[in-house]
Amino acid sequence: MSDTFVVEAELRSDEGKGASRRLRRLEAKVPAIIYGGDSAPVSLSLIRKDFEKHLEKEAFYSAIIEVAYDGKKEKAILKALQRHPAKDFPMHADFFRVEENKAIKVSIPLHFINEDTCVGVKLGGGRIQHTVNEVEVLALPADLPEFIEVDMGQVQVGEIVHLSDLKLPEGVTSTALALGDDRDIGVASVLAPRGGKGTDDAEAEVDDAKSTDDAPSEDASDES
């Protein structure tokens, strides 16, 4: 990870939905919690405008973050983020403590490269379709990549790039592939022009992958 993010926070004593609403409306702050490890969960508040600056950067969502509060700093990841359904501003954040010697599961964004020179598009007239934009990996905190590249340069019409085709850094594994070959979903494909050969198979696998990706996660969350 190239960026180091420090989130300044304050201890929060008032809990509950009413207290959280007052915090957001009257103080322009975001209620949060940090939990995990051997320490007890701690309720926090974040200055909204400062937190939103972090959220503008893609790397923040998969980075090891330093959460500073009460005179100390704890390393954590952003485990969950609740946004306002209409206005999109952050309403609540969950931070999960990490330890240097313990592997953690994190969703890493995908960067699709060489799409402008993709042979399936330039020579075959196809169109690129992304199935997922991030993948969950297991790695030690120091080994977590900021993003994972998906090279579309040599993908032909009707071909699908699967999880197993991705080049993961050393020490990083796919949590889906660890469960078996049947979890080797497609992450992107080159679809033929409408009615062209290869369209049906690629689109069918894309639909299957989306169904798998929509399954609920088991993340812990704070209700305050």
- Residue 14: pLDDT band (50, 70, 90) is confident
Please report, rounded to a whole number, the percentage of residues in the chain having pLDDT higher than 70.
84
Name, in order, each residue with C-beta under 8 angstroms of 92's C-beta and a sequence gap of 6 or more. Answer: 20, 30, 31, 32, 80, 81, 82, 222, 224
CATH superfamily of 104-213: Ribosomal protein L25, C-terminal domain (2.170.120.20)
Give residue 48's pLDDT.
94
The pLDDT of residue 222 is 40
Token digits of residue 36: 């995990």
Give the list of residues 6+ apart from residue 42 with CB closer than 8 angstroms, or none. 11, 33, 34, 35, 69
Residue 211 has pLDDT above 60, yes or no: no
Cα–Cα dist 186/49, whole Å? 38
| Higher pLDDT among residues 22 and 66, named by residue | 66
Measured CA to CA, the distance from residue 209 to residue 72 in angstroms comes to 42
Please indicate whether residue 73 or residue 25 has the higher confidence score (pLDDT).
73
Please give the mean pLDDT across all residues of the chain: 87
What is the tens place of the pLDDT at every residue in 117-142?
999 999 999 999 999 999 999 999 99
Instruction: Give the tens place of pLDDT for each residue, 146-177.
Output: 999 999 999 999 999 999 999 999 999 999 99
Q: pLDDT grade, residue 220 (50/70/90)?
A: very low
- Please give the model's pTM, rounded to 2 decimal places: 0.77
pLDDT at 160: 98
Q: Out of 2.40.110.10, 2.40.240.10, 2.160.10.10, 3.40.190.10, select the CATH number for domain 5-97.
A: 2.40.240.10
Tell me the average pLDDT across 71-87. Answer: 95
Stronger pLDDT, 55 or 17, i.e. the higher one: 55
Output the six-digit token pair for 94.
């969950």
Residue 74's pLDDT band (cuts 50, 70, 90):
very high
Which pLDDT belongs to residue 216?
A: 42
* Domain range annotation of the chain: 5-97, 104-213
Q: Supply the pLDDT for residue 25.
A: 76
